[in-house]
Structure 1
Amino acid sequence: MSDAKFSNPIEITEPSSLNEQAAAALIIAGALVAVADRSVSPVERDEVIRFIRDRGLAPHVADERLFSMFDELAERLEEPDFANVVIDTLRPVSNMPLSSHLMELSERVAAADEDVHPHEVQAIKLLRLLTLVLPRAKQVGPGVTSTAPKE
C-alpha cells in the first residue's frame, strides 16, 4: 500500500467545500459505529444518509457521493490506522458546531439495526472523547494575526 492512501482518508473533490468536509465528518462518525461490530448493515448506512439529509447538513453533496463516501470510509476503518482516519477526517471541521450532530448520529446508527453491540458503545465513547479533545483547526488567510512573540 502506498503512503498516500494513509495520508488522506478520503479525497475531497472540492477542498474548500465545508459541505463535503462536514459530510465526511458526519459519515466517519456513522461509519465508525457501523463497523464497530464487524458487520455494516445497509440500514446503518441508510441511517447516516437520512440523518444528513433530514437536517440539511450537506445540501450541496449528492446522495450518490454520500453513499460513496460512506463505503470508502467504512472500508478505510477496517485498516490498522483507523484512528488516524477518524482524526484526519474530523480535524478540518473541528471549529464547526457539529459535535451534537456527531453524537446524535452515532447513537442513531448504533440503534438502527436494533442491536446495540458493546463495541458500538465503545465507538460512541471514542467519538465523544475526540469531539472534546481534538485540536481546533488553525485559521489561515488575510486578517488572521500571528500570536508569535515580537523580537
Structure 2
Amino acid sequence: MSDANHSNPLEIEITEPSRLNEQAAAALVIAGALVAVADRRVSPVERDEVISFIRDRDLAPHIGDDRLTAMFDELAERLEQPDFANVVIDTLRPVSDLALASHLMDLSERVAAADEDVHPHEVQAIKLLRLLTLVLPRAKQVPSGAVRADKPAASAG
C-alpha cells in the first residue's frame, strides 16, 4: 500500500488559504462524521443531519449538497483508519482561529441524537471535539511571499 493510494484527496483543497469556505465546511463535516462513526454504524440520517445543519445556518452557501455528501462519505471512511486522529486535527487546524467551536459542538450533539440512540462512544467523540476546540493550536497567518524556502527567515540582508 503506497501513501499515494491512501492520501486524503481533500488535503490539497482544505489547506489552501483561498478556500476558507471549503475549510470551514470540512471542519463541520469532520465533527459530524467523527460522531457518526463513533458507534461503528453510520446512519444516513446522521449524514443528512450534518448537511441540514450546515444548510439551516447558511455556513457553506457556495458548496452544494452533493459536494457536502461526498465530503462526509470520504471523511467518514478516513475516520475508520488508524490515523483518524490526524485526519481530525489536520481538518480542524486550518480553521481553528474561526468562531466555529459552538457550531462544531452543536452539530456533534445533533448528529449523536439523529438516530435516536446516543451511544457512549458518541459521547466520547463529543468530549474529544470539545477538547480539541479548546487546545488545538491556532492556524498561523503567513502573508504570501513572506517566507522563501531558499532563504533562511532569520537573515535580514
TM-score, normalised by the number of residues in structure 1: 0.89
Q: Of residues 75, 80, 83 in structure 1, which corresponds to 2:82?
A: 80
Q: Choose the corresponding residue for 1:63, options 55, 58, 65.
A: 65
Amino acid at match of 2:101: S
Q: Which runs of 5+ in 2 are unaligned?
A: 147-152
Select the structure of larger CA radius of gyration: 2
- Label 1:5 to 1:107 Cα distance change in 2 as closer, same or farther (>3 A): farther
Give the match for residue 110 of structure 2: 108
Q: Retained in 2: the 8 A contact 1:9–1:85?
A: no
Over 3 Å counting, the alpha-carbon distance change for 1:5 and 1:140 in structure 2 is farther
Report the CA distance shift for 1:93/1:121 in structure 2 as closer, same or farther (over 3 A).
same
**Letter of the 1:72 counterpart:** E
**% identity of equivalent residues:** 80
Report the Cα distance in structure 2 between the residues aligned to 1:106 and 1:5, rounded to whole angstroms. 30
Change (3 A) 1:129 1:13: closer
Q: Does 1:29 align with 2:31?
A: yes
For 1:4 and 1:141, how far apart are their aligned partners in 2? Answer: 30
Q: How far has the Cα of 1:9 moved from its partner?
A: 6.2
Match of 2:150 in 1: none
Deviation of 1:17 after TM superposition, in Å, equals 1.3
SS in 2 for 1:104: helix
Aligned partner of 1:99 in structure 2 is: 101
Say whether residues 1:3 and 2:7 are aligned partners.
no
TM-score by length of 2: 0.86
**Matched residues, number:** 148
When residues 136 and 35 of structure 1 are mapped into structure 2, their CA distance, relative to the original with a 3 A threshold, is same
CA RMSD of aligned residues (A): 2.3
Per the TM alignment, residue 112 of structure 1 is displaced from its structure 2 partner at its CA by 0.3
